[in-house]
Amino acid sequence: MVGRAAPPAINIVSGLIGLCLNVDSPPGVASDRPEGTVVGTMFCTSNANQKFRLTTSGEIRVFTNKCLDDPGGRGGNGDRIVIRRCTGQRSQQWTPSTSGEVKSFNGRCLDIQDKWVLPGGAAILWDCNGGDSQKWGALLPGGASASRFSLQGNLPDRISRIVSSQGGPASPLNGAQPFLNVTPFTMAIGNNLSAQIYALASLVK
């Protein structure tokens, strides 16, 4: 009997400004962080504090056994997202939607506080409103080289421009779907690691 393949480790990128979801870590420290460490946005890297796995049970895991969690457990507007040991409780249940949102157990969306466009924005819960700060895509390593970019303007339009500037779309990952119905494209993570962007919902199997 063939076992189920482990979910891929991904960067989760914001549709607002192209920064990645990030477990707060001191400079030079990207290994396992303690329970209660806050989550926000930062320049995309290949470090462990930005490598997440989406499970079929609804968890978004990071490190060995930590999950994104609403520590108050009530799912209220403005609740700050942290990491805690994975327990399967409802505050660790997340559902990526086909429109790019990541919804908590009570239907509120993973958001960037105050639509902060600089590194260090806080990851919070907020009523879903369809805004770019509530759109999240999956970045997986790719083979092509790419230059750094910053996202500006209308999301589908700017993704299309990036595809064009890279000389065409990247080859899609088997079974993955494009982010917000735009052909997967190649982008840079860090100085020289390239990646492709996909819809989170298509990676939960």
How confident is the model over 68-80, as pLDDT tens digits? Answer: 999 888 899 999 9
- Single out the residue of 197, 98, 96, 102 nearest to residue 149, CA to CA: 197
Domain count, the chain: 1
With beta carbons less than 8 A apart as the criterion, state whether 9 and 48 touch. Answer: no
Decide if 1 is inside a domain.
no
* Domain with 26 in it: 11-203
Distance between CA 99 and CA 110 in Å, rounded?
A: 13
**Position with higher pLDDT, 3 vs 192:** 3
Q: How many other CB atoms are found less than 10 A from the CB of residue 18? A: 24
Task: Using a cut of 0.85, tell me whether the model's pTM lies above it.
Answer: no
Both tokens of residue 74?
């009530």
Which of 139-143, 167-171, 176-180 tops mean pLDDT? 139-143
Domain with residue 74: its CATH number is: 2.80.10.50
The residue assigned the tokens 């907020």 is: 126
